A and B are shown apart, each in its own frame.
Chain A
Amino acid sequence: MMNMMIGRYVPGNSVIHRMDPRAKLLLVFMYVGIVFLANNSATYAVLTIFTLVLLLLLQVPFSFVIKGLRPILWIVLFTFLLHVFMTKEGAVLYQIGELTIYEGGIRQGIFISLRFLLFILITTWLTISTTPVEVTDAVESLFGPLKRFRVPVHELALMMSISLRFIPTLMEETEKIMKAQAARGVDFYGGPLGERIKAMISLLVPLFIHSFKRAEELAIAMEARGYRGGEGRTKYRLLTWRWFDTCLLVSVLAVAILLFLLRS
């Protein structure tokens, strides 16, 4: 569990950490859009440099970022190989029996896996610098206008923050129940399929029962403290938009224009 670095917040006080989460979220959305503009070496170089600058601004040891990538490396490698063997373009580089590797395949493989890496890096950039609560606040604020169309934005944001809040609790509880059942002779890591299903049941049933109970208790506790939905509710954490937020979004636009000019 401790190796799970994807989506992990690393506390810090960099300019990025202090940014308005709305700006960061918008930046990621825009970024995901413009990545598809890149289609040659120059445009990919521009994107990579831009991404690296963003990561440097985090002022977080680079090893944290790398750790986030590790679990996904296999998928990236798989994508790369798939493109290398499947694309039939340009000059032939190697021919081993049935397999032919084309120059276009290598190019395509590198580009697509780079695109993949860039996506992951930018989301890591967001999660390293932004607590889940901030992300939820940003989502609620950005989607606020949808309230007019009767989209329950506040409720959705609340659901999001509650589920995020209870992930560690659930993990802890899973571990506790697993230990209790292991003490009764359950083997969670081996044995025939039938027994393993039984083992999972002995874990999942108590876990579900407790989640429902807890949900009810939470609802009562919230009502007892006067919660009655988003209507007229003020915020504890106020989001403030600074000039730096605007600057960064403008810089994404600039990169987008640059990509337009450089793409072939």
Chain B
Amino acid sequence: MDIIFEQVEHIYHANSPFAQRALYDVDLSIASGTYVAIIGHTGSGKSTLLQHLNGLLQPTNGTVMIGEHTITKAIKPKQLKPLRRKVGIVFQFPEHQLFEETVEKDVCFGPLNFGVPEEEAKKKAKEALSLVGLPEEVLNQSPFDLSGGQMRRVAIAGILAMEPDVIVLDEPTAGLDPRGRKEMMEMFARLHREKKLTTILVTHSMEDAAKYADHLIVMHKGTVWKTGTPQQIFHDPDALLQLGLDVPETVLLKRKLEEKIGREIPSPCLTIDQLVDGIKKLFSGGNP
């Protein structure tokens, strides 16, 4: 499912004294099966943008095309329900949405809402739990007896059980410890690879964006500031720093090193591995 935004604008409380323009002139396209990261400041319109992806919000102007669905302001919310199954959104702190008595019931909740028969929903719940790396024993436990990290996995399983084609992640690692963060990000990378899930990640971590995404979208003050591959985006760290955004630590380290030794490191240095490679190449360059 390709996703195309054309001249999308969203104004909250339009035609009232509280009107607030959250998005304008948003043009972008996300090809099916890619891993895209959306980065930007708090208040840059990321959250508003991602709620357009499954019709929770409708543009006040412009069109959003998701697969065969076209969303404009004229479309009735009822028509958008089939789309919600295709695009799963994992909101920030998704464990807040758990409510059932057992993990199994909670994971089945989504599929059942979309009319999947009960037996099949249970089967999908099992699969989804193994996808997020939880043992089958938790099926009959109360989600509220689990640890925070496990609760989050259950909530994510609840979205995966709907078998969406696109998964949207709003800061999925917020509040996790460093190890939990890494595991979570590796899990999504694996899902993306194995299930060919189109993955859209909203994040504040430039390291994650650089490491996992094929494509970056930089939002600034309600519109798309720049799109490109991580290499293209982080090629000019100063522009990003000026927007008040970070760049991966390794990019800054690369620059410092280059200033010190007066030579260019032949690598984009988006991750630690790339930086190490770059330095290796630099020093073995003279005598191969």
Contact = CB atoms under 8 A, between A and B. Distances in A.
Interface of A: 2, 176-177, 179-187, 189-190, 201-202, 205-206, 209-210
A184 B109 contact: yes
A2 B91 contact: no
Contact of B84 (A177, A183, A205, A206): A183
29 contacts: A2-B18, A176-B91, A176-B96, A177-B96, A177-B97, A179-B51, A179-B56, A179-B91, A180-B89, A180-B91, A182-B56, A183-B56, A183-B88, A183-B91, A183-B159, A184-B84, A184-B109, A184-B113, A184-B158, A184-B159, A185-B81, A185-B113, A186-B113, A190-B78, A201-B99, A202-B97, A205-B99, A206-B97, A209-B144
Given A202-B109, A206-B96, A183 B18 contact: no
A177 B99 CA distance: 11
Contacts of A205: 99
Choose among B77, B97, B110, B114 the residue with the greatest number of A CB atoms under 10 Å from its CB: B97
Contacts of B114: 185
B96 A210 contact: yes
Contacts of B109: 184, 202
Given A2-B16, A206-B98, A185 B91 contact: no
B64 interface: no
B94 interface: yes
Chain B interface size range:
20 to 34
Given A176-B91, A209-B144, A182 B84 contact: yes
B223 interface: no
Interface in B94-135: 94, 96-99, 109-110, 113-114
A199 B236 CA distance: 48
B159 A206 contact: no
B67 to A, nearest CB: 17
A181 to B, nearest CB: 6
B78 A181 contact: no
Interface of B: 13, 16, 18, 51, 54, 56, 77-78, 81, 84-85, 88-89, 91, 94, 96-99, 109-110, 113-114, 144, 158-159, 162
A190 B85 CA distance: 18
A185 B98 contact: no
A2 B17 CA distance: 10
Contacts of A177: 96-97
- SS of B interface (majority): helix
A206 B16 CA distance: 31
B110 A184 contact: yes
B97 A180 contact: yes
A60 B97 CA distance: 42
A209 B95 CA distance: 11
A205 B99 CA distance: 6
Given A179-B56, A185-B81, A185-B110, A206 B88 contact: no
Contact of A185 (B13, B51, B78, B162): B162
A71 B114 CA distance: 37
Given A206-B99, A209-B144, A183 B89 contact: yes
A209 B142 CA distance: 13
A181 B97 contact: yes
A22 to B, nearest CB: 32
Contacts of A181: 97
A181 B113 CA distance: 10
Contacts of B13: 2
Nearest to B77: A189
A184 B114 CA distance: 8
Nearest to B13: A2
Contacts of A182: 56, 84
A185 B162 CA distance: 9
A182 B96 CA distance: 14
A186 to B, nearest CB: 6
B159 to A, nearest CB: 7
Nearest to B111: A185
Contacts of A202: 97, 99, 109
Choose among A177, A179, A189, A210 the residue with the greatest number of B CB atoms under 10 Å from its CB: A179
A185 B85 contact: yes
A230 B228 CA distance: 59
Choose among A181, A182, A186, A210 the residue with the greatest number of B CB atoms under 10 Å from its CB: A182
B163 to A, nearest CB: 12
A29 to B, nearest CB: 33
A187 B82 CA distance: 12
A206 B109 CA distance: 14
B216 to A, nearest CB: 24
